[in-house]
């Protein structure tokens, strides 16, 4: 198994090369690609327009990386949280959400995370490993298979830092966006990052129409450092400059995520300062009342404070919404399901 190729992670070009390398005709690649990404089979033996000998050959040389549902939690509002087991028994979380504009899936990009954000449950055990593009796809394919629901939006906002797993992320986007695959529009894909500047520039050069979301969470470096260790590496002003450059290069509106934490980043001064920082940037601010996690004593701001914060931004013509809470009855913050599973299986 160990030297079998990860066929699900291959773009169509890569698949053509692979098919050629095992001595098969190129036109087979498109058929196989469609079986994998449009019909989303989990075995080569379901590929009914392919000979048994080619099925055997594919099976000998490659693997359709498996992903298995362990448990799911369903909310009254339609949100479903899934816990999946990977080939090496690691587990990851994904979330299915319904919105007026369609169904959305939030996927993980890594097993654990090494970014260390103080309010986040996903980072507590550190980084275990990157997910392959096939494991990112697998979360979506499996949710589609289990729920039977059409998925039109993808957010890469689950466990992990997607820009810390850059190459697999780009492959994942290319495959999920491909016409012979799920054909999800790039405009319906959001990548959320804690702000790895060099990778923001790399992403800008990919000329993709995806939405970039920056987990900013603070109006200056001082407060950001308290919440996010990554701010010790990437200066606040340089991050803001990278965001401006990203918008200039891609002409895409950027999203800033701002989790409001009581007495940490939710004051009137913070709102005023943030307005100044974001002035003139083509952006949208997502205010998120921080989700309390057991291991940390961060509390979310009360609704008056949240409204006051929002009003200040809006008065200064900064586009802003307070994130609707989904699935609040099935859990709390991101990464908690995986964490409680890992704890109980120690």
Residue 93 annotated in active site: yes
For residue 85, give the nearest of 157, 142, 149 by alpha carbon.
Answer: 142
DSSP states of 222-289: HHHHHH-GGGGTS-HHHHHHHHHHHHHHH-PPEEEEEEEBTTTT-SHHHHHHHHHHHTT--EEEEEEE
Tell me: does residue 320 bind ligand SAH (CB under 6 A): no
Rule CB under 6 A: which of 182-221 touch ligand SAH? 192-194, 215
Q: How many residues of this chain interact with ligand SAH, rule: CB under 6 A?
A: 18
Binding to ligand SAH, residues 1-40 (CB under 6 A): none
- Indicate which single residue of 184, 290, 313, 326 sits in contact with ligand SAH (rule: CB under 6 A): 290
Sheet hosting strand 153-156, strand order edge to edge: 68-74, 80-85, 91-99, 102-106, 153-156, 189-193, 211-215, 254-260, 283-289, 320-322
Does residue 165 interact with ligand SAH by CB under 6 A?
A: no
Our answer to whether residue 270 is catalytic in this structure is no
93 DSSP β-pair partners: 83
The site string for ligand SAH over 57-86 (x = CB under 6 A, - otherwise) reads: ------------------------------
Using CA atoms, how far apart are residues 33 and 259, in angstroms rounded to an integer?
40
Nearer to ligand SAH, 25 or 343 (CB): 343
Task: Kindly state the smallest distance separating residue 257's Cβ from ligand SAH, in Å.
Answer: 4
**First-to-last C-alpha distance (Å) of the chain:** 27
Q: How far is the CB of 248 from ligand SAH (least distance, A)?
A: 22
List of E strands, the chain: 5-6, 62-63, 68-74, 80-85, 91-99, 102-106, 110-112, 127-130, 153-156, 189-193, 211-215, 254-260, 283-289, 320-322
Q: Which of residues 92-131 bind ligand SAH (CB under 6 A)?
A: 115, 117, 119-120
List 93, 128, 161, 168, catalytic entry: 93
Confirm or reject binding of residue 142 to ligand SAH (CB under 6 A): no
Q: How far is the CB of 146 from ligand SAH (least distance, A)?
A: 23
Choice between 257 and 266, CB closer to ligand SAH: 257
Q: Report, as residue numbers or ranges, the catalytic residues.
A: 93, 334
Binding site for ligand SAH (CB under 6 A): 115, 117, 119-120, 157, 161, 192-194, 215, 257, 259, 288, 290-291, 293, 333-334
């Amino acid at each position: 198994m160990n030297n079998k190729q990860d066929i699900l992670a291959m773009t169509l070009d890569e698949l053509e090369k692979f098919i050629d390398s095992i001595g098969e005709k190129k036109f087979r690649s498109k058929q196989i690609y469609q079986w994998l990404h449009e019909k989303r089979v989990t075995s080569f033996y379901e590929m009914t327009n392919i000979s048994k000998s080619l099925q055997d050959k594919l099976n000998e040389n490659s693997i359709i990386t498996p992903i298995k549902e362990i448990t799911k939690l369903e909310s009254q509002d339609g949100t479903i949280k899934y816990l999946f087991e990977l080939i090496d028994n690691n587990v990851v979380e994904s979330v299915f959400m319904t919105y007026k504009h369609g169904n959305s899936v939030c996927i993980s990009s890594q097993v654990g995370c090494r970014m260390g954000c103080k309010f986040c449950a996903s980072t507590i055990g550190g980084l275990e490993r990157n997910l392959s593009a096939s494991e990112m796809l697998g979360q979506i394919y499996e949710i589609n298979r289990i729920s039977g629901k059409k998925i039109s939006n993808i957010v890469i906002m689950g466990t992990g830092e997607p820009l810390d797993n850059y190459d697999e992320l780009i492959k994942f986007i290319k495959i999920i966006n491909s016409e012979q695959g799920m054909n999800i529009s790039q405009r319906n894909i959001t990548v959320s990052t804690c702000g790895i500047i060099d990778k923001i520039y790399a992403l800008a050069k990919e000329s993709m129409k995806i939405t970039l979301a920056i987990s900013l969470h603070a109006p200056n470096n001082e407060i950001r450092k308290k919440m996010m260790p990554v701010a010790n590496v990437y200066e606040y002003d340089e991050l803001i400059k990278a965001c401006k450059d990203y918008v200039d290069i891609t002409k895409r509106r950027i999203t800033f995520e701002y989790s409001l934490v009581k007495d940490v980043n939710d004051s009137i001064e913070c709102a005023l300062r943030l307005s100044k920082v974001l002035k003139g940037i083509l952006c949208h601010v997502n205010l998120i009342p921080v989700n309390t996690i057991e291991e940390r004593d961060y509390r979310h701001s009360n609704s008056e404070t949240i409204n006051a914060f929002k009003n200040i931004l809006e008065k200064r013509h900064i586009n802003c919404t307070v994130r609707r809470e989904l699935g609040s009855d099935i859990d709390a913050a991101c990464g908690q399901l995986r964490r409680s599973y890992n704890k109980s299986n120690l």
